[in-house]
Each structure stands twice: as structure tokens, then as C-alpha cells.
Amino acid sequence: MCRCPGGSARAGGTCVNVNECVQNPCLNGGTCLDREPARRYDCICPFAYTGHDCELELLASGIIMPSRDFIIAIIVCLFLLLVLVLVFVVYNRRREAHIKYPGPDDDVRENIINYDDEGGGEDDMTAFDITPLQIPIGGPLPDHVPSKLPYPLMGVGLGVGPMVGVPPAVGVPLPGETNVGMFIEEHKRRADSDPNAPPFDDLRNYAYEGGGSTAGSLSSLASGTDDEVHEYDYLGAWGPRFDKLADLYGPDLDEQL
């Protein structure tokens, strides 16, 4: 079945143009002009109106004023969007209320570290350097042979003078490796034999006990004792836990004395 395109109707077996201006589709006093079926009609709008049907009002600045129906449609869309946002927020709050979060004591994590440990983290186990111990302090010993020592030769000791009566150290060469034990023993021997190294000798009187003290004599403690005979037979009735105490103060005590 054949149909006529828009803007035309069948009449006598053919499609004829329909005059849409009969219904006066132009708004706001616009003039309607009938066109071919493809364009249907056009409206000649009066001043301050525009649009295909003269439905838009122009402001004084030339801005197109939307129609009332268009404004109502925008308000309805904004209201629906606001309702959707409120529903989403309420739904999330109700869902979070059913989630049980653990307490602070039950929240165990492997990355919790106590930083209040005194001295923790101060030791360096990977970048130890022994060179500060090898800084020369005095001149080299005259009777040491540097080529035979397996470690760097340091000074005469911690003092400023030479050591007297100290036998020379005999170095044992080790190929390709430093003997740390010999290094420590040699410097320990130097420090022990150096008369100028602290601590220096001084005189301290430790036998003069009580000098400058306000405490009285301890002899007054013996004045409160007596020579009366005491009976300790009741200690045997205290049970097995006090047997040793009963044996010490029992009847055999006087015989032993």
C-alpha cells in the first residue's frame, strides 16, 4: 500500500499538497506561508519573536527567551536529579550502618611498629668502618718494622711520651688478609703499658668510715638486748612450714649453746 509523504494527502489516486496554514500553526501573531510538501510551512514572526512557530521571545539584548514549557521541563529535570541524589545518599548511609568495624584493640596489622623503643634503630650493622680506629695518635715506634705488621701502624699510645720497658711487637705477615685479633691485642698492650694514659693514680682513703657523717655509733644497737630465757615451743604448732624455724629455736638450742 502506497502512502503520501508528510505535508500531502491522497486525492483521486494522486498525492496533493495540504495547506497547513488553514490551522494557523504560527504563534504570537506570526504569518503562515504554505510551502511544498517537503518544507510544509514557514512562519513570518513579528518583532521580538523567533523560532519555527514564533514560540521563542527575544529580549532587548537579542538573547532568545525560552518558552514557558521549556522552563517547566528544565525545572522538572532538576527536581528529578535532586531526588536521585538524595536516594543514593540515604542508601549508602543505611548500608554503612550494617557494616561492623573492628575495635582499636582488634585491629591487628603487620605494619604496626612501635617507635618508642629507646635506642632502637641506632646501630648500623651494614656500614661498619674500622678506619676511625686506625687514625695515628703519636709517632711510630722505632723498633717496629711496618713491612711485617699485618695492620696499619698507629702511634705510641694514648699519651704523649714513649713507652719505657715495652718489648717490640713481632708482626706475622698474613697474605691478603688483616689479622684483627692481633691488631686489637697490640693496641690493648700499648694502652695497658702506657704510663701517660688515663686514668691516673690518686690517693683515696676508704678506711676512714663515717667521716663527716651525722649517723651515730652502731654500738647502741647492742644495748637493747637482754639475757632472758625465751620459750619457743609454740613454733612446733605452726605446721610443717615452720619446722626449720622450730629446730633453730627448739629445746636443743640451749644444749648447743
Rg (CA), the chain: 57
Q: Distance between CA atoms of 202 and 200, rounded to whole angstroms?
A: 7
Question: Which has the higher per-residue pLDDT, 70 or 63?
Answer: 70
Cβ contact 254:233 at 8 Å: no
Confidence (pLDDT) at 88: 92
Confidence (pLDDT) at 145: 43
Q: Distance between CA atoms of 146 and 154, rounded to whole angstroms?
A: 10
* Band (143; pLDDT cuts 50, 70, 90): very low
**DSSP string across 1-67:** ---PPTTEEEETTEEEE--GGGG----TTPEEEE--TTT-EEEE--TTEESTTS-EEE-TTSPEEPP
Residue written as grid cell 532538576: 78
Q: What's the predicted TM-score (pTM) here?
A: 0.23
Is 90 exceeded by the pLDDT of residue 141? no
* Band (17; pLDDT cuts 50, 70, 90): confident
**3-class SS of residue 171:** coil
